Amino acid sequence: MSKSNFTRRGLLKTSAIAGAGVAMPTIFTASSAAAYTNEPTGSGVTLGFNVPQTGPYAEEGMDELRAQELAVQHLNGEGDGGMMNTFSSKALKGNGILGNKVKFVTGDTQTKSDAARASAKSMIEKDGAIMINGGSSSGVAVAVQGLCQEAGVIFMAGLTHSNDTTGKDKKANGFRHFFNAYMSGAALAPVLANAYGKDRRAYHLTADYTWGWTQQASMQAATEAMGWETVNNVLTPLASTDFSSYIAPVLNSGADVLVLNHYGGNMVNSLTNAVQFGLQDKMVNGKQFEIVVPLYSELMAAGAGENVQGVIGSMNWNWQLQDEGTKAFVKSFGEKYGRPPSNSAHTCYVQTLLYADACERAGTFNPCGVAEALEGFEFDGLGNGPTLYRADDHQCFKDVLVMKGKENPTNQYDTLEIVEVTPRAQVEYAPDHPMFAGGELGKCNPGA
């Protein structure tokens, strides 16, 4: 058959050389002069903003991106400086980070752990990003956090609410500013007991994946501590779009509160369906039937429209807060984009500033130095009052907001109102709390 001029021997030789070529890189791996992954070479420093730009969370991702761009402007001394003026640490000077102009690259997580990791990897490998920030789901956050740990860059987690992110999946290179499921439960339970009484019977509908489970466990523990009883917990498939068959049996179960442990599109649909069934108009056990949505976001509230009215939930931050930091941020965000920022936007903005500030205080971009500067860092002036980045698990501790769907919204952004600002002391927990057990922070990894 063979008609070609290539000989078998020739090919063997070539492949031997090719084989040697494959083995070669090990020799060179450690030879690079850099002390850590993507050490800036003087022409500026690159941050990677990895947010969902397609799929159901695209809108949330867009808002994060807006906030991140704003943060970069402020770091480079453009615009009005936003929260840099109210931040208790004054290390940032508006001349970039450590004198390096801040540049950024963006990517699309698609809210899939695979795609998110691919996108983060391209930022690290191709664009030389030294910090990754953003995202809007816990699965993605945990996946990207693991990647950043391996690659030796800092990960600022964006929106992630599962206990696992700073629990069993915590990593030394990752930090979370967002609150978590435990905190939601701890903040909500007293308010719920106050508003609806202590002898309530709760029925949980829970999204059937890790975030949903930790959210449900936290809510159940916190409400039962207040004297509530849990009638049932039903797991719903992630792919569900119509929740009618899960909601229909609720009214006959003897429960008088429905807790929807859903987020995103699931939450919009399950809440809409529950309201359609007219649950809130019913009296059960002699009490008005109520619905609770433990984790709120402005965008989801907007998606559910008038269905959120009177429904209680929790949030990390809200633009209606009246502290100086919040006001400064809302002003500069609002003037640039003509809309108030969402709580995920706030998280990403603040994390970008905090990262930059930590670099300034550490005097280096080395992830180990930055992590050390962030660990145990106490600050104020970024909304939510005095805040701590705990060294033990890299979880942030600050006040948590309990929100309620507004009865008569005056405009499209005015869907939720603040019911209570739960003080930080009430949502704190020990680092070895059983809901967070199992993981190890490990050692910080500078990469090279």
Partner 1 sequence: MLGLNKHDMKMLLIVAALAMLAPFLLNPFPTDSAMAQFNAGYPDLMQRFVIFGIFAIGFNILFGLTGYLSFGHAAFLGVGSYSTVWMFKLLDYNIVPGIILSVIVAGLFAVVIGYVSLRRSGIYFSILTLAFAQMSFNLAYSVLTPITNGETGLQVYTSDPQYLIDDWETVPHLFGLVEMRSTYTMELGAWSFDFNAGYYLCAVLMVLMFYLSIRIFRSPFGMMLRAVKSNQTRMNYTGLNAKPYTLAAFVISGMYAGLAGGLLASMDPLAGAERMQWTASGEVVLMTILGGAGTLIGPVVGAGFIKYFENIFSKINENVLHEWFGFLPDGLENAVVWVVEHFVGSGWHLTLGVLFMMVVIFLPGGLVEGGQRIMRMLRGKKSDNDAEKTTQSTPAE
Partner 2 sequence: MDAVILQILNGLDKGSAYALIALGLTLIFGTLGVVNFAHGALFMIGAFCAVSLSKILNLSFETIDETQTDFLGNPLKVKTAYIESWFGPELGASIIDWAVPLAILFSIPIMIGIGFIMERGLIKHFYKRPHADQILVTFGLAIVMQEIIKHYYGANPIPTPAPDVFKGSFDFGTLLGFDPNVIIYPYWRLVYFAFAAVIIGTVFAFLQFTTFGMVVRAGMADRETVGLLGINIDKRFTIMFGIAAAVAGLAGVMYAPINSPNYHMGMDFLVLSFVVVVVGGMGSLPGAVAAGFLLGILESFASMNEIKSLLPGIDQIIIYVVAIIILLTRPRGLMGRKGVMED
Q: Which residues bind partner 2 (CB under 8 A)?
A: 54-59, 62, 208, 232, 234-237, 239, 241-242, 244-246, 248-249, 251-252, 265, 268-269, 272-273, 276-278, 281-282, 284, 299, 302-307, 319-320, 330-331, 334-335, 340, 410-411, 413-414
Question: CA 341 to CA 136: how far, in whole Å?
Answer: 15
Phi-psi region for residue 279, left (φ > 0), alpha (ψ -120 to 50) or beta? alpha
DSSP string for residues in 382-440: SSSSSEEE-TTT-BEE--EEEEEE-SS-SSTT--EEEEEEE-HHHH---TT-GGGTT--
Q: Applying CB under 8 A, which part among 57-65, 88-96, 222-230, 357-365 lies near partner 1? A: 57-65
* Per-residue binder mask for partner 1 (CB under 8 A), 233-252, x = binder: --x-xxx-------------
If binding is defined by CB under 8 A, does position 439 make contact with partner 1?
yes
25 makes contact, choosing from partner 2, partner 1, none, with CB < 5 to 8 Å by partner type, with: partner 1
Question: CA 185 to CA 433: how far, in whole Å?
Answer: 14
Q: Applying CB under 8 A, which part among 103-111, 336-344, 370-378, 406-414 lies near partner 1? A: 103-111
Q: What residues from 183 to 222 belong to the interface with partner 1 (CB under 8 A)?
A: 208-211
Of 44 and 56, CB closest to partner 2: 56
* Smallest separation (angstroms) from partner 1 to the CB of 117: 6
User: How crowded is the C-beta side of 401, counted as CA atoms within 13 Å?
Assistant: 24
* Smallest separation (angstroms) from partner 2 to the CB of 246: 6
Of 105 and 302, CB closest to partner 2: 302
104 makes contact, choosing from partner 1, partner 2, none, with CB < 5 to 8 Å by partner type, with: partner 1
Question: CA 40 to CA 47: how far, in whole Å?
Answer: 11
Of 76 and 232, CB closest to partner 2: 232
DSSP string for residues in 59-95: HHHHHHHHHHHHHHHHHTT-TT-GGGGT-S-----SS
199 makes contact, choosing from partner 1, partner 2, none, with CB < 5 to 8 Å by partner type, with: none
78 makes contact, choosing from partner 2, partner 1, none, with CB < 5 to 8 Å by partner type, with: none
- Beta strand 312-315 with 400-405 is antiparallel
Q: Which among 116, 120, 127 is positioned nearest to 38, based on CA atoms?
A: 127
Residue type, position 67, single letter:
A
Residues 6+ apart with CB under 8 A from 296: 308, 313, 314, 315, 403, 416
* Smallest separation (angstroms) from partner 1 to the CB of 76: 12
User: How crowded is the C-beta side of 407, counted as CA atoms within 13 Å?
Assistant: 2
Contact 157, 135 (CB under 8 A): yes
Structure-token pair, residue 357: 């500030």
- Whole-Å CA distances, 417 to 90, 227, 329, 427, 442: 32, 26, 18, 20, 40
Q: Applying CB under 8 A, which part among 24-32, 91-99, 316-324, 414-422 lies near partner 1? A: 24-32
Q: Which residue in this structure is represented by tokens 């987690």? A: 157
306 makes contact, choosing from partner 1, partner 2, none, with CB < 5 to 8 Å by partner type, with: partner 2
Contact 102, 131 (CB under 8 A): no
If binding is defined by CB under 8 A, does position 437 make contact with partner 1?
no
Using CB under 8 A, which of 56, 62, 336, 372 touches partner 1?
A: 62
If binding is defined by CB under 8 A, does position 54 make contact with partner 1?
yes
* Smallest separation (angstroms) from partner 1 to the CB of 126: 4
* Smallest separation (angstroms) from partner 2 to the CB of 242: 6
Using CB under 8 A, which of 85, 122, 232, 272 touches partner 1?
A: 122
* Smallest separation (angstroms) from partner 1 to the CB of 5: 9
Residue type, position 107, single letter:
G
Helix, strand or coil, per DSSP, at residue 281? helix
Using CB under 8 A, which of 36, 57, 87, 104 touches partner 1?
A: 104
Question: Positive or negative CA dihedral for 96, 97, 103, 105?
Answer: negative
Using CB under 8 A, which of 9, 20, 25, 425 touches partner 1?
A: 25
Chain contacts with partner 1 (rule: CB under 8 A): 1-4, 6, 8, 11, 18, 21-26, 28-29, 32, 53-54, 58, 61-62, 65, 69, 104-108, 112-115, 117-119, 121-123, 125-126, 137-139, 142-143, 146-147, 150, 164, 169, 208-211, 235, 237-239, 438-440, 442
